[in-house]
Structure formats: structure tokens, C-alpha cells
Amino acid sequence: MPEKVFVDIELNLPKQLEKDLLENERICTTCKGLGIVIMDNNYGLKEEPWIRGFPYKHQSLWPCPDCYNGVQKVCSYCGQPGPRQYIHPEAHCLCEKATNERNSLAAKKEKERWEKADKMGIEEAIKRFKLVFVDGPDEYILSEDIKKYLAELREEPGLPMPYVWGTRTEALALPGADSLIDDACENLHEEARDNISREDIKELQELLDQWTEEVKSETITYFPDYKIGILVE
Ligand SMILES: [Zn+2]
Ligand SMILES: [Zn+2]
């Protein structure tokens, strides 16, 4: 059983702290600007398994978890602080104004991306892409089904027509035989790498190519191609 002692805090503290607050900064409400708080640092004892949890304390002074230096940054719209690591709380704040502002910024960026992209009609897109990407729902749709998909979207009132984009694909690609052998020889004796002939390397490369070709179709992955906008209207 620990012995409880009380330590008087005797610090040579000034009466006041000076803070030069910038716009969207306020004195922290947790530590009242001090920048430090009392932490309990609770603990328990193994030899007292009948006492659950951490009933004892080693109280000490710690940096305040809700601010830096006693100052909090606040959302410029609603004045509430976010987690202290956010330099611009309004970029994350869930208040209505900050959310609206973020949404309209995102919409503007999307519009700019659309305006910059090359455009292509639906018929051409059906010939060129197996799948197309629909922004908003963020779905990949078989290009031949895109008209039907959009018609269904149109029936839902209030939904803006989403941007539809072309797609690009990536499939499994292995490092070349040369680089595989380089890596594998790294810790071997000095001539190990040189003892492997050009023919041996060529043979491995052919095996790799053949294997890659066999599994490739199973690994094809689609990504939106924001350089090609598909005109749906
Ligand atoms: Zn604080
Ligand atoms: Zn806010």
C-alpha cells in the first residue's frame, strides 16, 4: 500500500503570462493559458489483484494536451478549436459554414479539372473504355451501361449530374530478370553475379514474361483518367 503524501507547489511563477494572439487564436480553456496541466499518472499494484484499475496517482505537471503554449487555434467560422495539431481548424471543422466552404472549394477544383480535360462523346467512350469512372458515387461502370446508369440518376430529383471520366489500367508487372538477379546476389561472393551468363538471364526473363502474361488479366486494376472527360448530356 503506497504512502500518500501531498507536495506543496512552490514555484517562482510570474503573476501574468504575456501572449500575442493572432487572429483565430484564443487562450486555451483547458489550462487557462498556462500551457501545463496536472496529470494524475494513475497506477496500480500487481500484488493487489483484487483492486481493479489504477487507484493510485503520481500527479505531476505535464504539457497541456489541448493546446501549444497555452494558445489554441480556432475555426475562423465558428470559433471552436480542433485537435491541437491542426494549424487551420476550419479545414477540418464540421460546423456548417466550414463544411460549405470546403464543399464549394472542392466543387470549384472539380470544375477546373473538368474544364482542363479533353472531352469525348459517349459513343466514342464506349468503344475506347471497358469501364468509365463516375465522380460523386465514385463508381466504375461498364461503359456500355453508362447511359442506363445516368438515366436512373436523372430520375432522382436534386442530384447534380456527376462528371464521368475515362479510365486507365495497371496490371501486375514484375521487376526484370536483371534486377531480380542483382538483388539476389547482393550478399553472395564477389563473382557470383558475373558467373550468371547472358543466356541464363534471358531464360529467366522469358519465364517471367510468360508467367506475367498468364496472370496479367486477373490483376488488371482500373483508375480514373482525369485527362479525359466524357460528355454525357
Ligand atoms: Zn492548454
Ligand atoms: Zn467551425
Task: Report the separation in Å between the CA atom of 93 and the middle of ligand 2, taken as the mean of its atom positions.
Answer: 5
| Statement to judge: residues 215 and 141 lie in one domain | yes
Q: Tell me, yes or no, whether 189 lies in a domain.
A: no
> Does the pLDDT of residue 141 top 80, yes or no?
yes
List the beta bridge partners of residue 121: 231
| Statement to judge: residues 107 and 59 lie in one domain | no
Task: Report the separation in Å between the CA atom of 44 and the middle of ligand 1, taken as the mean of its atom positions.
Answer: 28
Q: Indicate the angle between helix axes 198-219 and 177-185, nearest 10 degrees.
A: 110
User: Which ligand is nearest to the Cα of residue 77, counting in written order?
Assistant: 2
User: Which ligand is nearest to the Cα of residue 66, counting in written order?
Assistant: 1
pLDDT, tens only, 165-175: 999 999 999 99
Q: Give 155's pLDDT tier (boundaries 50, 70, 90).
A: confident
Long-range contacts of 155-160 (CB under 8 A, 24+ apart): 160/136
Contact 72, 25 (CB under 8 A): yes
Domain that holds residue 41: 1-7+16-72
Q: Tell me, yes or no, whether 65 lies in a domain.
A: yes
Task: Report the separation in Å between the CA atom of 86 and the middle of ligand 2, taken as the mean of its atom positions.
Answer: 12
The Cα angle at residue 117 between residues 116 and 118, in degrees rounded to 5: 125
Strands 131-134 and 139-142: antiparallel
**Number of domains observed in the structure of the chain:** 3
| Statement to judge: residues 206 and 101 lie in one domain | no
| Statement to judge: residues 132 and 229 lie in one domain | yes
pLDDT, tens only, 195-231: 999 999 999 999 999 999 999 989 999 999 999 999 9
Q: Which residue has the cell 563473382?
A: 191
- CB burial of 151-184 (b: ≥16 within 10 Å; e: otherwise) equals eebeeeeeeeebbbbbbeeeeeeeeebeeebeee
Residues 6+ apart with CB under 8 A from 132: 125, 140, 141, 143, 146, 164, 165, 166, 167, 230
User: Which ligand is nearest to the Cα of residue 79, counting in written order?
Assistant: 2
| Statement to judge: residues 36 and 80 lie in one domain | no
